[in-house]
A and B are shown apart, each in its own frame.
Chain A
Amino acid sequence: MAEVEIRAVSKAFKKTQAVSDLSLTVGDGEFVALLGPTGAGKTTTLRLIAGLEMPDRGSIRIGGRDVTGDAPADRDVAFVFQQYSLYPHLTVFENMAFALRAPIRRVPEAEIRAKVREVACLLHIETKLDNKATQLSGGQMQRVAIGRALVRSPAIYLMDEPLSSLDAKLRGEMRLELKRIQTDLGATILYVTHDQTEAMTMASRIGVIEGGRLLQIGTPREIYENPINAHVAARLGQPAINLLPATLFAGAPRGAMTIGARTEHLTIARGGGDVQATVKRIEHLGDQSHLHLDLGGQPVVTLSDPEARLGPGDIVSLRLNKPLFFDADGGRVAA
């Protein structure tokens, strides 16, 4: 394991600027998640570190060594691709042993067997070792793909949305397992995802990326509680943050054009609130309910207690409780 440092890296594909002037350091043993929408440049960043793409500008250092011009094989990285990328004609065992069998490694066969078995047990696929890679279910294939990376001890594991093709239940399980494995091995992981839950639950730090730029990086808590702009604020939180015109409420600071109100910033009161809103719709999710409100023509979504007996057409009053404020460009304004 080692520290990975990206310095002011840019990469364009023809006219599309995929990554602009991006700098990022992943510390030894750290789990960093890059969070952003499709096309934000997350995957390109990962591929640049792996050496599958060459940067137009900037440098990449792994373990203190400049690897900017090196081939992927010389960088000591492991990559888990979004599309399993297993070798379809090989068995699970052969797939996982593939990297260890590289001639430059010269790992003894007995050691390969032991290592593959150990990782297979870790991922609960030890009974599938003799199966063909194509005979597995999606979840098993992705475990094999992760296993292929884990049998090695690279400087860094690069993971490109490895759980996105799994169903919700399996994704939840794999999230826990991956975090457990990372803690056990003390592995350095750079993890790309568009799923905020994955980023929030697994990462020690989250980098929010959009339009090829790293907007903010910090612990999940920092990013959630202290976003630098409206873009970052909108990436985290379920239901998403409500961005409302500042004129709807009194007491906005100077320069604030938008109020960012998460569900915990909104208190529903039967009476005596700051403003009145009409209930449009209620989504019952069991343990909680999403309350869709109409606030002077602006849609607002917040959580409500399932016990609250509210129905469409009901009038509720809302009170703001230390919300976030943003200026005309979306930048944060201190309250």
Chain B
Amino acid sequence: MNDLSASSRITYGAVPVQPAVVRRIRGLSDKALAWLFITPTMVLLLAINIFPLVWTIYLSFTNYRANRANAPVKWLGIDWYQTILTDPDIWAAMQVTAHFVFWTVVIETVLGFGLAFLIDKKFRGHGVWTTIILLPMMLSPAVVGNFWTFLYQPQIGLFNYVVAFLTGRPASSFQMLGDVTLSPWAIVIVDAWMWTPYVMLICLAGLRSIPDYIYEAAEVDRASKWRQFWSITLPMALPFIMLAVLFRGIENFKMFDMVNLLTGGGPGSTTEVASITLKRAAFESWRTGYSSAFAIILFVTVFGLANIYVKALNRVKSR
């Protein structure tokens, strides 16, 4: 309090400011000022984050339906949670999600780190290549979903054409989006194409943060390039790689837009990731209570996994 009023006296003493303004600002204590600054954010957070969350938790214990808002609401306790956790369809959706999250994260991390490692070698024109590689990431997922449906077209699609060219199989002999075994991989490929650059960018930041003199010391210490990679590059870039994995993992656990555009969850329910199941229950069947419970289950899962992961990340960082 004293510090602030002292400094403001100096400031306002030096710069001519209208007396009324001076008095009003001076009249506030540090605490009041702090509240003044954070209140708008707090109100916004409460209104668009905390309140909906609490409301969803409440709805998940009721039979409320958003399309029959005036119908009497009945308290159901944990019925929905029991129904969902014993429903094989839900478990199928979770498996599809797990497949999608696991493979996208693995592929994006390996490719992203590999690209970052190459770009970090600062060859001629590496700046241009960085920009080119980053382009997919800058597109809207809706656009990506749309044009990959064209790329995957069996007759005219570029993807099928390239595969046909490389393997000799006729282009129209397979459908990436229409085949039950291929479609889960089709969405993995698109996501990897779009988001590998993002992982690369984070890994590149990690690699750039390793000072040159550490490599020079290793060089003088007779460490081979291989040993330098395993005992310097990888351990020192690991926190960044883990961060990229965290971001991509959370993001893809909630994946909706791109998959919805590409396959809409089909064929059958082979690409029906959890958020598509959720959206159908919420806005096609209008089972609001049920979908609220499912949303809470998903939230707790992501939140719990992310927390465990962040603990591990912090341990790696503090090594």
Residue positions of A touching B, CB distance < 8 A: 50-52, 71-73, 77-79, 81, 83, 85, 87-90, 98-99, 102-105, 132, 148
Residues from chain B with Cβ under 8 Å of A79 in the complex: 216-217, 220
Q: A85-B214, A89-B319 are in contact. Are A73 and B235 (CB under 8 A)?
A: no
The closest CB in chain B to the CB of A105 belongs to: B222
Q: Check A99/B211 contact, CB under 8 A, given A52-B216, A85-B217.
A: no
Measured between beta carbons, the chain B residues less than 8 angstroms from A103 are 224, 227
Q: How far is the CB of A161 from chain B (nearest CB, A)?
A: 13
Complex CA–CA separation, A164 to B312 (angstroms): 37
Write out the residue numbers on chain A whose beta carbons fall within 8 Å of the beta carbon of B218.
Answer: 87, 98
Query: CB within 8 A of A89: which of B211, B217, B220, B235?
Result: B235
Residues of A within 8 A of B231 (CB): 87, 90, 98
Complex CA–CA separation, A85 to B215 (angstroms): 9
Determine if B213 is an interface residue (Cβ-Cβ < 8 Å): yes
The complex places the Cα of A52 from the Cα of B220 at a distance, in Å, of: 8
B22 at interface (Cβ–Cβ under 8 A)? Answer: no
Q: Which residues of A contact B235 (CB under 8 A)?
A: 89
Residue picked from B213, B216, B219, B220, most chain A C-beta under 10 Å? B220
A198 to nearest B CB, angstroms? 21
Q: Is B221 an interface residue (CB 8 A)?
A: yes
Question: With an 8 A cutoff between CB atoms, is B261 at the interface?
Answer: no
Chain A residues contacting B219 (CB-CB under 8 Å) are: 51-52, 71-73
For this complex, 10 residue pairs linking A to B, each with C-beta atoms less than 8 Å apart, are A50-B220, A71-B219, A73-B224, A78-B220, A85-B216, A87-B217, A87-B218, A89-B235, A102-B224, A148-B217
A89 and B236 CA atoms in complex are apart in Å by 7
Given known A87-B231, A89-B319, A102-B227, contact A148–B221 (CB-CB < 8 A): yes
B111 interface residue (CB < 8 Å to A): no
Q: Chain B nearest CB: distance from A47 CB in Å?
A: 8
- The reply to whether B220 and A83 form a contact with Cβ atoms under 8 Å apart is no
CA distance A59 to B235 in the complex (A): 37
Residues of B within 8 A of A77 (CB): 220
Contact B232 A87 (CB under 8 A): yes
